[in-house]
Amino acid sequence: MKFRRETAKDDYRRTHELAAALGASLEPPGTPVSPLRQEFEETVAHALHANVCTEPPAGHTYPRRG
């Protein structure tokens, strides 16, 4: 069985790629959007975007080598 090893650098890169994708998915302020899209942005996108990332995330540790 092969295990995937993730370093702090990998985690940081992945986290910022996800944040960039989230930012790109949001409509610019003042742009008219459908009610469904508005509900999505208010509940999911803004909550995720406002979440502060810590290094490493709370409750997460990196595996020891060896």
Look at residues 66, 53, 64 and name the one whose alpha carbon lies nearest to residue 17. Answer: 53
Place 60 in a pLDDT band, splitting at 50, 70 and 90: low
Look up the pTM and report it: 0.46
Report how far residue 10's alpha carbon sits from residue 20's, in angstroms, rounded to the nearest whole number. Answer: 15
Per-residue model confidence as pLDDT tens digits over 5-59: 778 888 888 888 887 887 777 778 788 888 988 888 778 766 766 655 555 566 6
pLDDT at 49: 61
List, in order, residues 6 or more apart from 63 with CB less than 8 Å away.
5, 6
